[in-house]
Amino acid sequence: MIPRVSFLLLSILLGILGILCVVFTVYWTQHWLGGFAWDGSSQMFNWHPVFMVTGMLVLTGAAVLVYRVPLSWSGPKLPWKLLHAGLTLAAFILIVLGLVAVFEYHNKQGIANMYSLHSWLGLGAVLLFSCQWAMGFASFLLPWAPTWFRALYKPIHVFFGSAIIPLVVAACISGINEKLFFKLTSTTTPYSQLPAEAWFANILGMLILVFGLLVLFALAMPVWKRPDVNSQDTQEPLLQEDK
């Protein structure tokens, strides 16, 4: 009972933090960065942080914790596999939209792509997420992956699923910092004097950091791990070949 209650409390806290991360990102881009559009302007770029924080951070964080939910510890695994796949698919769609927004803006404005540390971290996170999604789909959903391969690949999938979280946190925080330096360098109140926008965006970065650390904490707690039961449900993929 204690692990269930403690996980419930952590889930509520993570839910609040995740919502705050998204709300803070939307408010920052709307209030200080000029709002949203889809026309190649800076307003189109503003979709990039919103989609990435929502998809790569919050939805991915929720997806990796699906099998830590106490209700998933017993009974059929199928609903939880579908929920995990659905969350990661929704995250992937938002990631693609976020990439379209930033590359379209850069190309329309004649800005170079992929030169900053933020862009390298972000690309690394996207590539790792994409490989995870493709391999997870092929290994655990489609019928042709043999049982021995799924058993061999499962710990690798779990490890790199966890590794995505700190990579995403680093990409988000470096992106916030980069945007503040670009925007506040030429203003009358520079970043070093901590104007209101800097305070707000720095707090957003700290919320993202705390969210990521709590997700990693939940993943590291063995008491919240689903028992590895050797049932037919855990040994076979969701889709079956016709007999």
Predicted confidence at residue 59, as pLDDT, reads 98
Q: Is position 69 within any domain? A: yes
Q: Is residue 243 part of a domain?
A: no
CATH of the domain at 219: 1.20.120.1770
Mean pLDDT, the chain, whole residue set: 91
Q: Is residue 159 part of a domain?
A: yes
Q: Which letter, b or e, does each residue of 200-230 get, where b requires 16 or more Cβ atoms within 10 Å of its Cβ?
A: ebbebbebbebbbebbbebbeeeebebeeee
Confidence of residue 137 (pLDDT cuts 50, 70, 90): confident
Q: Is the pLDDT of residue 243 over 50?
A: no
Q: Using one digit for the tens of pLDDT, what is the confidence trace for 177-200?
A: 999 999 998 778 899 999 999 999
In a domain, 242, yes or no: no
Residue 138 lies in a domain: yes
Residue 155 lies inside a defined structural domain of this protein: yes
Instruction: Look at residue 4 in the predicted model and tell me its pLDDT.
Output: 83
Residue 20 carries which side chain, given as an amino acid letter?
Answer: L
In a domain, 108, yes or no: yes
Range of the domain at 204: 2-237
Nearest to 229 by CA among 61, 108, 72, 18: 72
Domain count for the chain: 1
> In a 3-state reduction of DSSP, which class is residue 238?
coil
The answer, as to whether pTM is greater than 0.85, is yes
Q: Tell me the per-residue pLDDT of 23-80, one tens digit each, with 9 for 90 and over.
A: 999 999 999 999 999 999 999 999 999 999 999 999 999 999 998 998 888 888 888 8
The letter for the amino acid at 86 is G
> Is 225 within a domain?
yes
